[in-house]
Structure 1
Amino acid sequence: MTNKITDLFQIKYPIIQAGMVWNSGWRLASAASNAGVLGLIGAGSMYPEVLREHIQKCKQATQKPFGVNVPMLYPDIEKIMDIIVEEDVKIVFTSAGNPKTWTSYLKEKGITVVHVVSSVKFALKAQEAGVDAVVAEGVEAGGHNGREETTTFTLIPMVKEQIQIPLIAAGGIASGRGMLAAMVLGADAVQVGSRFVASEESSAHQAFKKVVVDAKEGDTVLTLKELAPVRLIKNKFYEDVQKLYKTSPNIEQLKELLGRARAKKGMFEGDLEEGELEIGQIAGLIHDIKPVAQIVNDLMLEFEDAKQAISNL
């Protein structure tokens, strides 16, 4: 299967494994790339030298293309970009910031740049900044979300109507049927996050993976919108947030409750009570933990079956 995205990244299938904090280390990224999709290392949870180590180990584990996802709101961004250039990473996904800040610099170094957006407005800004493609992510997605709260299947056709560069759909996609639906609406590829959290190669804690596969419809919620909207699984920490909201807190009080390293505590260390358990709404459709290669194979088999079923209508 070839299209704009498979050609752009030199991959077999038009699927991107999302670069998620505390989940997407070199093992996940290399396994995804070896399975024929684009693997991404999630730099958001890594100190610069830790990122360097993950890039080097990923190079040793795969000969296929892989990239790094860089949330631009994190500290040490200059050091992270320097390491990406020094280690000759060919693909960078940027998010949570202005694409104009780093796109020209990265492209001058011969790097393919993709920016994650949550609205038509920001998709156009990313295109203007010179990115090679955009990821349009709907509010169904796990982790930090856009303030617009637009659903994926509303967002994709609206972005498609306005941009000329390749479009990747994200948020609420964990099956071949979802992949086909996103592409029918105009996406050239899909970015999959939550399904790869529940993989054997994910760096997430096993206890968190189990919570993901046990999750049902309605178990995730978008909260902390005053800080940065985040979708997470309801647990004690979430209930503490709700109790605080009843007191009409200010931003400083919300920040104090959130504290530091909540996401690490929950997803990486497995504290299911006090941790921040970030996952998408689609968790209700994820029922098992599998090797990445099997997940990719399942996605493509279901995609082809769904495509055949549609053609028979």
Structure 2
Amino acid sequence: MNRITQLFNIKYPIIQGGMIWNSGYKLAAAVSNSGGLGLIGAGSMYPEVLREHIQKCKKATDKPFGVNVPMLYPNVEEIMNIIVEEGVKIVFTSAGNPKTWTSWLKERGITVVHVVSSSKFALKAQEAGVDAVVAEGFEAGGHNGREETTTLTLIPMVKQHLQIPLIAAGGIATGKSMHAAMILGADAVQMGTRFAMTTESSSHQNFKDTCVNAQEGDTYLTLKELAPVRLIRNKFFNEVQEAYGKCATTDDLKALLGRARAKRGMFEGDLEDGELEIGQIVGLINEIKPVSDVMAEIMADFEKSVATTFSF
């Protein structure tokens, strides 16, 4: 047992990323039932849809699970009230100032974790009173920090400043990479891409098929002027690159992005005009499997790595 398994009352120090359009109750429940911590991704849900997923998750697992809330999304106040009303005990916050909601949540008996991309923001989260932080390297899929700091660099940098538990994220999909992150100072790991590529993920089969066929170097970080996002190259991505070539303004990029691109790509399976958000590590994942198999493989790989680590 370590600080994270103790904090969440889980068997393994593995947290599933709360990804938009991938992280419905089926995925969260499956990860929790397999010994990790499952997260429902509130970022792609209207408030009442979130309530429904929380209620279904409570029926699908008797293990701890949480909700990931991007704080810049609309309806955040309504979302937080639903989380409290439904008795959720763990909240991961991201994309905003941790001071905004941490005290309010903790006063209501909720464990709070904040996602950061730098040591500076990790310290701000610690000062805000969060129970743990996720330090996410820029290998990660979806929206990223602007610093472009890799996980291998970020984790030891954050660790030297932090007293609270540290969760590593970005480019982690195997037991070996989990072990490496923990050697660098992490208490646990969060995996998004690995769990997006499972049977229980709520994303469209078209998206999953595209991801398992992706190779090393097929993802790119773009749209830094709006909110940096890592995507697989497709027609939409090429249109963004063409816009940059024509010296597009921020307003031009906003108009090109429009609304619901991520939903179109990941949830509805539009492989041409949708955003296909996924991490760099997708090049290592070649098969869609049930969560239980993925968790068993990760832990077997981790234990083998620990057992065979050598010293000079």
Global fold match (TM > 0.5): yes
Amino acid of the residue matched to residue 66 of structure 1? F
Cα distance in 2, alignment partners of residues 270 and 177 from structure 1: 32
Cα distance in 2, alignment partners of residues 279 and 285 from structure 1: 12
Please give the residue correspondences for 1:50-129 in structure 2 after superposition, counting only pairs within 5 Å.
50-129=49-128
Cα distance in 1, alignment partners of residues 80 and 135 from structure 2: 23
Cα distance in 2, alignment partners of residues 166 and 7 from structure 1: 11
How big is each residue's C-alpha offset from its partner over 1:89-130, in whole Å with a ceiling of 9 and x where there is no partner? 000000000000000000000000000000000000000000
Amino acid of the residue matched to residue 258 of structure 1? L
Please give the residue correspondences for 1:266-305 in structure 2 after superposition, counting only pairs within 5 Å.
266-305=265-304
How big is each residue's C-alpha offset from its partner over 1:236-275, in whole Å with a ceiling of 9 and x where there is no partner? 0000001111111111100000000000000000000000
How big is each residue's C-alpha offset from its partner over 1:182-230, in whole Å with a ceiling of 9 and x where there is no partner? 0000000000000101100000100100111111011000000000000
How big is each residue's C-alpha offset from its partner over 1:133-177, in whole Å with a ceiling of 9 and x where there is no partner? 000000000000001110001000000000100000000000001
Amino acid of the residue matched to residue 175 of structure 2? G
Q: 2:130 aligns to what? A: 131
Cα distance in 2, alignment partners of residues 257 and 179 from structure 1: 38
Please give the residue correspondences for 1:136-151 in structure 2 after superposition, counting only pairs within 5 Å.
136-151=135-150
Unaligned runs of 5+ in 1: none
Cα distance in 1, alignment partners of residues 146 and 243 from structure 2: 21
Please give the residue correspondences for 1:302-313 in structure 2 after superposition, counting only pairs within 5 Å.
302-311=301-310
Secondary structure of 1:75's partner? Answer: coil
Q: 1:34 aligns to what? A: 33
Cα distance in 1, alignment partners of residues 60 and 220 from structure 2: 36
Shift in Å, 1:311: 3.8
Q: 2:2 aligns to what? A: 3
Secondary structure of 2:160's partner? Answer: helix
Secondary structure of 1:40's partner? Answer: strand
Q: 2:260 aligns to what? A: 261
Unaligned runs of 5+ in 2: none
Secondary structure of 2:207's partner? Answer: helix
Secondary structure of 1:55's partner? Answer: helix
Shift in Å, 1:309: 1.4
- Runs of 4+ in structure 1 deviating by more than 3 angstroms, as ranges, are none
Q: 2:219 aligns to what? A: 220
Shift in Å, 1:312: 7.1
Shift in Å, 1:85: 0.4
Count of residue pairs the alignment pairs up: 312
Secondary structure of 2:112's partner? Answer: strand
Shift in Å, 1:65: 0.1
Please give the residue correspondences for 1:103-252 in structure 2 after superposition, counting only pairs within 5 Å.
103-252=102-251
Shift in Å, 1:7: 0.2
Amino acid of the residue matched to residue 180 of structure 1? H
Cα distance in 2, alignment partners of residues 165 and 51 from structure 1: 29
Shift in Å, 1:30: 0.3
* TM-score normalised per structure 2: 0.99
Amino acid of the residue matched to residue 93 of structure 1? F
Cα distance in 2, alignment partners of residues 244 and 156 from structure 1: 35
Shift in Å, 1:178: 0.4
Q: 2:42 aligns to what? A: 43
Cα distance in 2, alignment partners of residues 311 and 128 from structure 1: 38
Secondary structure of 1:162's partner? Answer: coil
Shift in Å, 1:307: 1.0
Cα distance in 1, alignment partners of residues 6 and 32 from structure 2: 15
Secondary structure of 1:11's partner? Answer: coil
Computed over aligned residues only, the root mean square deviation of the Cα atoms, in angstroms, reads: 0.7
Amino acid of the residue matched to residue 215 of structure 1? A
Cα distance in 2, alignment partners of residues 222 and 127 from structure 1: 28
Secondary structure of 1:196's partner? Answer: helix
Cα distance in 2, alignment partners of residues 141 and 256 from structure 1: 25
Amino acid of the residue matched to residue 199 of structure 1? T
Amino acid of the residue matched to residue 54 of structure 1? H
* TM-score normalised per structure 1: 0.99
